[in-house]
Amino acid sequence: MTHLKAVLAALTIILGLTLLGSIEPAQATQFGASKPADLPYRVDAHRVYLQAPTDWDKVTQPSVVSFKLPPRAVNSGRYDGMLYSWFRSAPNYRIWYVYWHEPENDFTTNVQQRAYRNAWRHIVTIERSTGRNKLSSATLFMSFDFRPSVNRNPADWYPGNKFIDVIGFDGFNWWYYREYRTPGEIYGPGYRWARAHNKPYACGEWGSAVINNNVRARARWIKQTGHWFADRNAAFASYWNSELFALNDRPSKLAYKQVVGL
């Protein structure tokens, strides 16, 4: 009888996991890329940019999707029908949606910032009325905010814990650093800000330029940074595979493949 109970318990666990689904790990960081087609392997999540939320044609797997709409028009209700239809028709993937990523340079006055925060709240209220449970709201700010000379407070653009599921900060290891700075230096302040608000952390755009033409050093940095995100259970971390940060050398491509496999 004891053996039978043990077998039944094991079967219950297996069946439960099957019913819950094993496609999307609850804790694993979803590593994405801005140009996934340029990589010779599949990433966990695509990084998608839309001017307006009118369709889902570019979303073919789990994705981080940004869109822009004028805050005052959003608050007036002009886009309510479009937003409801868009959210209601979302494909059955895990999707983090971002309203106007990196808003800091675009909304600089108190009036603009208030309108942006209110627009976020309006959008989330519409999304949650659709009952689509694979949609999550995510803010994406800039790690640049935390530089002492910048004197910014992300709270000026933050709509509040009630409306946001994930807090993210984009950041890069720039060529003018002349070194590969640690992920803690670049991404640590944003991570701490998210955790101070009791929210999961994420990064919508990350990457490094090749410093001193040393692609192998960049490959090591990519792996180190990927582990840094994974160790902190970042919800997603999408590599900006473009321009100065493009993964256009073999060591970097292989390094990111290892990161995606974490």
pLDDT above 70: residue 19: no
pLDDT digits (tens, 9 = 90+) for 202-227: 999 999 999 999 999 999 999 999 99
| Backbone dihedral region for residue 207 (phi beyond 0: left; psi -120 to 50: alpha; all else: beta) | left
> Above 90 in pLDDT, residue 5?
no
Q: Per the structure block, which two tokens stand in for 52?
A: 């307006």
In sequence order, the 6+-apart residues with CB closer than 8 A to the CB of 113 are: 107, 156, 157
- The residue with tokens 């940019």 is 49
Provide the b/e sequence for 230-248 (b: ≥16 CB within 10 Å). bebebbbbbbbbeeebbbe
Residue 3 has pLDDT above 60, yes or no: no
CATH topology of domain 28-260: TIM Barrel (3.20.20)
At 141, which amino acid appears? F
Top pLDDT among 107 and 148 is at 107
* C-alpha span between 187 and 152 (Å, rounded): 16
pLDDT over threshold 50, residue 25: no
Helix (H) / strand (E) element for 31: namely: strand 30-33
Per-residue confidence band for 258, with pLDDT thresholds at 50, 70 and 90: very high
Q: CA 53, CA 48: separation in Å to the nearest integer?
A: 11
- Summarised one tens digit per residue, pLDDT across range 74-103 is 999 999 999 999 999 999 999 999 999 999
Query: Which residue carries 């981080």 as its tokens?
Result: 64
Locate the domains of the chain by residue range.
Answer: 28-260
pLDDT digits (tens, 9 = 90+) for 115-166: 999 999 999 999 999 999 899 999 999 999 999 889 899 999 999 999 999 9
Give percent above pLDDT 90 in the chain: 87
